[in-house]
Chains A and B, each alone.
Chain A
Amino acid sequence: MSGEEQFVVSLSVNGTRRPVTVPARRLLSDALRHDLELTGTHVGCEHGVCGACTVLLDGVPVRSCLMFAVQAEHHEVTTVEGLADADGRLHPVQEAFRDCHGLQCGFCTPGFLTTIAAALEDYPPGASISADEAREILGGNLCRCTGYQNIVKAVGRAQEIRTQRAGLSGDEATDRDST
């Protein structure tokens, strides 16, 4: 094996503590994918441009290819595998992508899902998200298959699902917003 110094890092991923032993230069994306075998996080460019590797660090989207695994200690990492409820109920954005045909090859999808999941938290259930706001949310992720049309739709649909799950109708919510 290599003579590189190894570090034991206690990563907290999707609510579970997962210790890994890695050299300092091990990218978080590689640690997630190859050490923890959470391969839902994909790597498309390795320089932070495409967004396929986006994970949530304490709820905030980050590019896991631009971070070292050792930097993720003491933070809570959420990957696409951790978006659904513990009982398997899909996150609204996952359901929305399926409903809206928001993916084709699916390679960039996990990065979109994590990015949108985080952005939805800025909107209370019931609040509407305009197409322009949706485009702003998606603005840093590349997709080569879909032309983004249905991904934009999926953002609005995800918010609808959140609203329904909160037991609100869109109309009530709009009223509440305006008051």
Chain B
Amino acid sequence: MTTKLFGEPIARREDARLIVGKGRYLDDIGHGALGVAFVRSPHANARILDIDVSAAVEVAGVHAIYSYEDLDGPMAQPLPVLIPHPSLTAPRTGYPLANGSVSHVGEPIVMVVADDRYLAEDAAERIVVDYEFRTPVVGVEAAERADSAVHEDIPDNVAARLVQEFGDVDAALLQAPHTVSFTQTIERSASMPLEGKGVHARWDAVDESLRVYTSTQTSTSVRAAIATKLDLSLDRVEVIAPDVGGGFGVKIVHPWPEELLIPWAAIRLGREVKWAEDRREHFVSSAHERGQLQRITAGYDDEGRLLALDAHILHDHGAYTPYGIVVPIITSTQLLGPYRLANYRCQVDSVYTNTVIVTPYRGAGRPQGCFAMERTMDRVADDLGLDRAAVREINLIRADEFPWDNHLIFQDGRPLIYDSGDYPSMLDKLRDLVGWEGFEARRSAAAADGRWLGIGMALYVEGTGVGPYEGGHVQVLPSGKVLVSTGLTSQGQGHETAFAQIVAEELGVPIEDIEVHTGDTRRFAYAIGTFASRAAVMSGNAVALAARAVREKALRIAAEVLEVDAADLDIVDGVVGVRGDPGAVLQLSSVAVLSNPLRYAFDEASRAATQFARFASYDQPPVPDDDEPGLEGRDYYSPVRSTFASGAHAVIVEVDPGTCAVTIEKYAVVHDCGRLINPRIVEGQIHGGVAQGVGGALYEVMAYDEMGQLQNASFMDFLMPYVSEVPQRIDIGHQETPSPLNPLGIKGAGEAGVIPGSAAIAAALEDALGIRIASMPLGPSQIYDLIRAAQDGTAEMTLNSARRSQEEST
């Protein structure tokens, strides 16, 4: 047996270079490149009347200044709508540089190329743009009122109206014994990777080829976009994602204006050109997510069985729709969670506002859907005076009911069918892990001491591993080194480790011999990208299939050489041997040598493969018709539909009555992502997700004022959690329900940790305060306001808080 590696919590292989400062991130490349700065709009909604660059061209070290008028061919056309959808009836995208008008603060207008970034900024500062100011639209309610328009020819500000529906919601609500209606909001936040975006381009005029490095989550598609927009043949463009300092969704959007403009300028100037986004640029010109207003009506019976759910969601799409309506689609489908529901309608109105574009951020619409469903469950329990876990339990899909067809179409254009899971067992584990039973006694004892404790939970189902495909290539070199490549990119997920674990086990080689490459179109040209918790499922299975092909070929060649049946052979630690015969062995490296018949010998190993050294049948060509030289394999994994992971979080919070500060006393996670490749990496993903969930629930807000100015566009004012804000411990329980859809039985894990954060923490705060929570995030200021409102009698109290006071007084 080869050492078992799949499922082992081994240390990461990429760390070796990252901990000694040898990582290579975008801005570590191209020290001699020209620097770039942009003039970006200071206004949220304006017409551009004039651009005066005369003072800027005087700045020493300036090489070029470009505005829209300089763009030609496809570059002068609007940026693509990447994911068209029938419901996206009024799509709108910007231009690489603004064409006559701007729709959000931060939109690029002028590009300055200079010797370095300092000088480029000097020049950019001297450029004067004259604007005609228009009334900005900020916030979904203003967009819905449509007193003014973001885009003049879209007077109602509606980009898309998406309706997802099954059953007969209106009839079911009429017949339901109980109904509840409420409105709630969830704020805007953003991916906010520690490394911003960045692009470096080098044009080789002799070779007429372009090499672009970009901090992206999809190098293959950036390549296609650059080739299209710059009118280059695809084979003249290579795109490489170097080490990427976090993505979390924002780097899946492409082509960013800069991803086109930097190579475009590099070609025009015949010089290396580089742009590395600064933090303020990232805040005002990348992308945000989350912001929704949800109007929900639910019907249910006396036991809390959900009979119908009607949700009308206003989704803040920002100024443009380059990534289509993926976030609304995910919210409206994943809202269903792990529950059975016969009558459902969700209408999402995706509206334009004069703010930065809204595109997926880790979770990608799922946290909002989870917030809608889980807060509904809490309302139902509160209304009926039932235990919140019990209400969830009675609604859960049972373990013997898979595959479960939700009769909707998911974000991949395929049916929303849950492949496997065990939700009741997950809920049981969660109750044990957090100490759900018995908490009420703790809570009331603490309350008697003047301490405010609360508990909440939230469950979710997450569609992961969306298609259409990923591929893998595995090659054994004559040296014995095993090269593995896949086209999707890495932003810290540990692919170099996880994919090596898979190949080591499938092929039977020591992991030390394996080298994994991702996100480099020179090595693998066909890929989609890293998003939607898909990398492990998609490329994990693809490299496994490729490794199996290599193994089969290695055994076939070795069988000929050893004159045995291939079925009797095995590969252990890089050695092909006959089972039960320790004498008959062949190194895999030797098989690699023999797999490639040679005329020329250039070392000892290759001598063995030359025409007079190697025995071959005179009746067969050296490379048979159905074969090819080399010990390598390439395969693709394309799933029939997504695989659905699931999880449940519970949290105990304490609110300080004096300062309104929130302390997370306990955070419990039960998580099911099928078979685990590397539990340590999965737990790391959960830790990070939970921290982002806590950030979103308690701290992070994109604070736009009514003029569309982002008031907190810095790390000083946008409050991402430091170590002091995250739970001191996260208790994790794994449950493994393999996916029947893919060879390895795995499901995605990347986004899971963030999904239920806001819902669970809102529930816990509501439990602690007895005040209805209808908007997130909830920092100390908001909690203070809620408590004041409760004292004034203007806050909505939970029915449960009234029950508690009644119990206390009797």
Contacts and interface: CB of A to CB of B under 8 A. Distances in A.
A144 B194 contact: yes
B688 A144 contact: yes
Nearest to B16: A98
Contacts of B564: none
A149 B685 CA distance: 11
A2 B115 contact: yes
Nearest to A37: B31
Contact of B715 (A49, A84, A97): A49
A26 B716 CA distance: 23
A148 B20 contact: no
Interface string A1-41: 11100000000000000000001011000000110011111
A145 interface: yes
A150 B720 contact: no
B535 to A, nearest CB: 13
Interface of A: 1-3, 23, 25-26, 33-34, 37-47, 49-50, 52, 79-81, 83-84, 90, 94, 97-99, 101, 103-110, 113, 131, 135, 138-152
Of residues A46, A84, A139, A148, which shows the largest number of chain B Cβ atoms within 10 Å of its Cβ? A148
Given A3-B60, A104-B688, A144 B193 contact: yes
Contacts of B654: none
Contacts of B753: 147
A1 B60 contact: yes
Given A47-B716, A141-B722, A2 B28 contact: no
Contact of B61 (A2, A44, A146, A150): A2
Given A2-B61, A90-B20, A98 B722 contact: no
B20 A99 contact: no
A139 B692 contact: no
B21 A97 contact: no
B722 A106 contact: no
Interface string B474-493: 00000000000000000111
A146 B688 contact: yes
Of residues B21, B193, B688, B724, which shows the largest number of chain A Cβ atoms within 10 Å of its Cβ? B21
Contacts of B245: 42, 44, 105-108
Nearest to B497: A101
B241 to A, nearest CB: 12
Interface in B678-713: 680-681, 683-684, 687-692
Nearest to A36: B31
Contacts of B726: 147-149
Interface in B430-448: none
Given A2-B61, A33-B27, A106-B18, A139 B684 contact: no
Contacts of B47: none
B364 to A, nearest CB: 16
Interface in B18-36: 18-25, 27-28, 31
B493 A47 contact: no
B192 interface: yes
A44 B281 CA distance: 12
Of residues A40, A97, A106, which shows the largest number of chain B Cβ atoms within 10 Å of its Cβ? A106
B733 to A, nearest CB: 16
22 contacts: A1-B115, A2-B60, A39-B27, A44-B195, A45-B715, A47-B716, A81-B21, A94-B20, A101-B681, A104-B246, A104-B492, A104-B493, A106-B23, A138-B722, A142-B715, A144-B688, A145-B684, A146-B688, A147-B753, A148-B691, A148-B723, A148-B726
Contacts of B243: 105-107
A41 B692 CA distance: 25
A140 B722 contact: yes
Given A42-B194, A140-B722, 13 more contacts: A45-B714, A98-B15, A106-B14, A106-B245, A107-B195, A109-B19, A139-B722, A139-B723, A141-B723, A144-B720, A146-B687, A147-B690, A147-B726
B20 A147 contact: no
B12 interface: yes
A44 to B, nearest CB: 4
A90 B19 CA distance: 9
A110 to B, nearest CB: 6
B723 A151 contact: yes
B133 interface: no
A38 B23 CA distance: 11
A145 B246 contact: yes
Contacts of B12: 98, 101
A41 B21 contact: yes
Contacts of B681: 101
A27 to B, nearest CB: 9
Contacts of A110: 21
Contacts of B31: 34, 37
A101 B60 CA distance: 47
Interface residues of B, number: 60
B670 interface: no
B458 interface: no
A34 B116 CA distance: 10
Nearest 7 CB-CB pairs, A to B? Answer: A40-B21, A107-B245, A105-B492, A147-B691, A106-B18, A104-B492, A147-B687
Contact of B25 (A42, A50, A143): A42
A48 B720 CA distance: 14
Contacts of A142: 194, 715, 720, 722
Contacts of A113: 19
Of residues A44, A84, A135, which shows the largest number of chain B Cβ atoms within 10 Å of its Cβ? A44
Interface in B118-132: 118-119
B556 interface: no
Given A3-B60, A33-B27, A108 B194 contact: yes
B181 interface: no
Of residues A98, A151, A152, which shows the largest number of chain B Cβ atoms within 10 Å of its Cβ? A98
A44 B24 CA distance: 15
Given A106-B18, A148-B723, A1 B61 contact: yes
B423 interface: no
B244 interface: yes
Given A98-B12, A144-B246, A49 B194 contact: no
Given A144-B246, A144-B720, A147-B730, A109 B714 contact: no
Contacts of A47: 279, 714-716
Nearest to A96: B19
A84 B19 CA distance: 10
A33 B28 contact: yes
Contacts of B18: 103, 106, 109
Given A47-B715, A90-B20, A101-B12, A25 B61 contact: no
B779 to A, nearest CB: 18
Contact of B19 (A34, A98, A146, A152): A98
Interface in B245-299: 245-246, 248, 278-279
Nearest to B247: A105
B728 interface: yes
B11 interface: yes
Of residues A1, A145, A146, which shows the largest number of chain B Cβ atoms within 10 Å of its Cβ? A145
Contacts of A94: 19-20
Contacts of A40: 20-23
B723 A101 contact: no
Nearest to B678: A101
Nearest to B490: A105
B337 interface: no
B303 to A, nearest CB: 37
B684 A104 contact: yes
A135 B725 CA distance: 10
Contacts of B730: 147, 149
Contacts of A43: 27
Nearest to A50: B715
Contacts of A39: 21, 24-25, 27-28
A103 B278 CA distance: 22
A138 B24 CA distance: 24
Contacts of B492: 103-106, 145
A164 B28 CA distance: 35
B91 interface: no
Contact of A46 (B116, B278, B691): B278
